[in-house]
Amino acid sequence: GESVGLHLPTLSVQEGDNSIINCAYSNSASDYFIWYKQESGKGPQFIIDIRSNMDKRQGQRVTVLLNKTVKHLSLQIAATQPGDSAVYFCAENLSSGSARQLTFGSGTQLTVLP
Amino acid sequence: NAGVTQTPKFQVLKTGQSMTLQCAQDMNHNSMYWYRQDPGMGLRLIYYSASEGTTDKGEVPNGYNVSRLNKREFSLRLESAAPSQTSVYFCASSERQGASEAFFGQGTRLTVV
């Protein structure tokens, strides 16, 4: 079954505003939590990951927050741009048999309004 | 640097037909994966190859077979296509098994009628 899920299937933000995309997870055994971006007609693209022993990690215009107490992960995008319009997936690397696998949530469609 | 290349990009099959989806990566990655993506759902792992010479089942392997032909190439075969296999298929690769950063191909949109 799916162990990562997203709070909202769609999110619309005004260009220039900050975006926050949320994700809940149920499995505490993951080493990493990861965010991917998928533009229309393309394959997913890695954005950022966070190790399970960290609370926050920043990248270029993105910040990922991990709250292990409530098993919640979020992706914050600063100054959202039209090019940020895409589906965003959270993922975790879960142990499956002898190997770790990336397990993806169902995605949030982010639309940036002009 | 092409990254991960999948062929074909689109395919329509009749129920019962067979086909092979091809995937090649030029990043010298050890691990390769096949996922399927259905509307409103995330990606589900079909099969993976942790390293050259090994393959293992993922979450949804039924109806599929794979071959890790060499370090670069990982193919996915549908022996007898069914309408339930209508989906978008993505090949991916990573430096090592389970790495956070995987590189995905552009996808193959398969319709089984």
CB contact under 8 A, B106 and A43: yes
Model pLDDT for residues B100-113, shown as the tens digit of each residue? 999 999 999 999 99
The answer to whether the beta carbons of residues A100 and B98 sit under 8 Å apart is yes
Model pLDDT for residues A26-50, shown as the tens digit of each residue? 877 888 999 999 999 999 999 999 9
Nearest to A57, CA basis, from B98, B100, B94: B100
Nearest residue in chain B measured CA to CA from A8 = B40
CB contact under 8 A, B43 and A93: no
Tally the domains of chain A: 1
* Domain CATH code at residue A52: 2.60.40.10
Q: Which domain, by its residues, includes A51? A: 4-113
- DSSP assignment of chain B, as one string? ---EEEE-SEEEE-TT--EEEEEEESS--SEEEEEEE-TTS-EEEEEEESSTT--EE-S--TT-EEEE-SSSBEEEEESS--GGG-EEEEEEEESSTT-S--EE---EEEEE-
Nearest residue in chain B measured CA to CA from A31 = B100
CB contact under 8 A, B48 and A102: no
Model pLDDT for residues B28-67, shown as the tens digit of each residue? 999 999 999 998 778 999 999 999 999 999 999 999 999 9
Let me know how long chain A is: 114
Flag whether residue A109 sits within 8 Å of chain B, measured between CB atoms.
no
